[in-house]
A and B are shown apart, each in its own frame.
Chain A
């Protein structure tokens, strides 16, 4: 077992979740309720990581973060280190390739709320923010939970983008998925097997638990 890699993967998933979930809620709510021209372009852009080969996404991210890009130069000037091949760069990449996993379940859940209920909240004197916190999120929370679980599990398992953007630097960018690949390449079937099993168990458990919790929302199951 490479505990360093496991710790790094958990840390990456944790950071991604902490940043992406609030942003995903705001974005999902906007997409679920706003009507504007060109909406399908925004939705298409968000869904792109679902269909794009991870290496393609990884390549563009690498170019965007490299020392020749303005983002890369700015980061290097500010911190003294490169953005590509760093943990921060990995978090940034992780935020982007997880966007559809974070936004779509929440967006669908908010869209499923009866618009009359949202309007009733406004007529009760609530602000848009109060409506989100008190009405929409409690009703959409199975979607929020799905988003969290998918984002977390997907970050643990992502391989292509991580390899492209992060390289494979132990303690900095070497995640458990990369460690498994390395071990398998060097015929260390025991270590690869143990880490694979760990990922399998963790992923299965989180998804099963989230499915179980998702069925327990008072009132929402019995509605028309």
Chain B
């Protein structure tokens, strides 16, 4: 009974197949222009691609081959648009009642009030949208979307227009609501943290194509390609070659510009083969005093520049074995202070072996570092 989404279209270019398991929150994550919102509009029935298939369980909503294209009202959907799109001339209650026109007039008001109460906006029924805060507008939009008791809830960047503290409340409310309603949720977002917090499944898309899909934690922890790693904000993606597999230590030895790198064993790649490897900027650490270059996973580098972002310091390093590449690292400010980190100073860094991810080689390696510059 999962929601199956297959879309092929030329402009905008889309060619993807998503499978959203029933009852789960699946986030569709990608940068701006990746086709997330277009995908959602196809599921909602607001736009028909050149070809494809949208089906929920046994029900087909869109099938280009058979000329089936149900209008939005015949699809069991509730939609929370990015800027909520509340009807400005209607009160909160009337906004929700507008989704209940299929019911006799007398039954609309109690249903609307129940939906508003569920979305935690009871008491604000008589207010117009412009009299509500951003968070309240979002809740009214959610109430309107769930009023029809849809089997699929489509959320398009639903938290992007509210402040951070409100957002945390709304995250919790969405989780609670999802547990109560037991519907299939498609959450479109560009925010990885949001996807990690809310969804059990994650579909990573870019340029209208599926890059990787799977359980959220798996995708976040194990990007399968340099492209996925880059979308998942792994700052460091490089090309190396496999030296050997050490089965006793469960490690693969890589050679990266003369530096010996140990990574969790990955015997898809034979010794001598090229391989891409990635590491998050938070897992590049200043090496312990006494460590030296010859040690595994230890890289001598020079600090190119550093930027303070809140409590953290983001550093760009030139690794001495390959100064043209950029190694990104993030350290807390007090560590930076104790280590006397400064621009142009040398720094020995250690790459946490368990945090290194190996991937099939692609054109995206090494380039990611440069793309940041």
Contact = CB atoms under 8 A, between A and B. Distances in A.
B81 A116 contact: yes
A127 B86 CA distance: 17
Nearest to A222: B130
A130 B101 contact: yes
Contacts of B102: 125
B128 A219 contact: yes
A218 B73 contact: no
A139 B45 CA distance: 24
Interface in A91-133: 114, 116-117, 119-127, 130
B43 to A, nearest CB: 11
B148 interface: yes
Interface string A199-224: 00000000000000000011110110
B77 A117 contact: no
Interface residues of A, number: 23
B44 interface: yes
A53 interface: no
B85 A117 contact: yes
A139 B89 contact: yes
A171 interface: no
A135 interface: yes
Contacts of B144: 120, 124
B153 to A, nearest CB: 11
A124 B112 CA distance: 13
Contacts of A114: 83, 85
A134 interface: yes
Nearest to A139: B89
Contact of A219 (B72, B77, B89, B98): B89
Contacts of B130: 219, 222-223
Contact of A125 (B82, B83, B87, B101): B101
B121 to A, nearest CB: 17
A126 B87 contact: no
A220 to B, nearest CB: 6
A100 to B, nearest CB: 27
B148 A119 contact: no
Nearest to A217: B89
A125 B148 contact: yes
A119 B88 CA distance: 14
Interface string B30-48: 0000000000010011100
A110 to B, nearest CB: 14
A190 interface: no
Interface in B78-96: 78-79, 81-83, 85-90
Interface residues of B, number: 29
A217 B148 CA distance: 28
Contacts of B72: 122-123, 125
Contact of A126 (B44, B82, B88, B101): B101
B44 to A, nearest CB: 6
Nearest to B87: A135
A138 interface: yes
A125 to B, nearest CB: 4
B85 A120 contact: yes
A120 B81 contact: yes
Given A218-B128, A219-B128, A121 B98 contact: yes
B235 interface: no
Contacts of B45: 122
Given A119-B81, A218-B89, A219-B129, A124 B46 contact: no
B128 A121 contact: no
Contact of B88 (A122, A125, A134, A139): A139
Contacts of B129: 219
A137 B82 CA distance: 24
A119 B46 contact: yes
A151 B184 CA distance: 51
Given A120-B87, A139-B89, A220-B89, A125 B73 contact: yes
Contacts of B87: 117, 120-121, 135, 139
Interface of B: 41, 44-46, 71-73, 77-79, 81-83, 85-90, 98-99, 101-102, 128-130, 144-145, 148
10 contacts: A114-B83, A116-B81, A117-B86, A119-B41, A122-B45, A125-B148, A126-B101, A134-B101, A139-B89, A219-B130
Given A117-B88, A123-B78, A124-B144, 19 more contacts: A116-B81, A117-B85, A117-B87, A119-B41, A119-B85, A120-B144, A122-B72, A123-B72, A123-B77, A123-B81, A124-B99, A125-B73, A130-B101, A139-B87, A139-B88, A217-B89, A219-B90, A219-B128, A219-B130
Interface of A: 114, 116-117, 119-127, 130, 134-135, 138-139, 217-220, 222-223
List the 9 closest pairs (A to B, CB-CB), nearest first.
Answer: A219-B88, A116-B85, A120-B85, A124-B99, A123-B79, A125-B73, A222-B130, A122-B72, A117-B85
